[in-house]
Amino acid sequence: MRPNEQLHLILTNPAELDAALRDGWPLATEVVDAIRAGDYKELYQDEVGSEIMNKLEEAAKQEPVRG
C-alpha cells in the first residue's frame, strides 16, 4: 500500500447490513460514502458478497444524509 492509504476489512451478513444502513451506523455510512466517491476496491466477491455489494451500491445512489 502507498503512504496515507487505508485498508478496511468489513465482515457482515445481509441482516446486519440492512440494520446498519437503516440505522445509519457510522461504518456503514463511511463505506457508502467511499462507494459514492469511487474510492474503494473490491478484492473478492461470492454470491452473498454480490448481494451485499448491490445493497451498498443502491445506498450510494441515495442522497447522503447529514446530521
pLDDT value of residue 19: 96
What confidence tens digit (pLDDT) does each residue in 7-51 have?
Answer: 777 788 889 999 999 999 999 999 999 999 998 888 888 998 899
pLDDT value of residue 41: 85
Q: Round to whole Å and give the CA distance between 62 and 65.
A: 9
Return the SS3 of 66. coil
pLDDT higher than threshold 60 for residue 67: no
Return the SS3 of 58. helix
pTM over 0.85: no
Q: What is the DSSP string of 7-53?
A: -------HHHHHHHHHHT-HHHHHHHHHHHHT--------HHHHHHH
